[in-house]
Amino acid sequence: WSYGMVPGHRSAPAGLRGAHSGTWRPTVSMDADLGFLQDNVGPNVEELGSFAVGDRVRVVSSKLEFMHVPKHPKLNPKGLEGEVTRLITDVSANLPVMVSFTEPRKFRAHFHASELERID
């Protein structure tokens, strides 16, 4: 951290005041190469499975519990059927398959491909 003089900001802490008059604020200098962030953007093929938007799917994992479904706290989605509404490929998502459900009430959830099976 370094302190640079910027008009309109509070004064620096007493021990950091210099000979200059004015107000001070902390500034951060970043000289890091962030190019590595672009190398692994998006999930690989195994994470998406062979799903496509519009596929009907069933939840097969029994180790899930949803807390975000209104009026259904601690909902275990095993056996619920829904429709794939999005495959997240533009960022590195942990759960890249978004599924929309209508039962027991309308909600959406994200899954890994291994937690779903396609139904015909």
Percent pLDDT > 70 in the chain is 59
| 77-89 pLDDT, tens digit each | 899 999 999 998 8
Q: Could you write out the DSSP letters of every residue in 95-113?
A: S-EEEEE-SSSSEEEEE-G
Q: Which residues pair with 109 in a beta bridge?
A: 99
| 73-120 pLDDT, tens digit each | 788 889 999 999 999 888 777 889 999 999 888 889 999 989 999 998
Distance, C-alpha 3 to centroid of its chain: 34
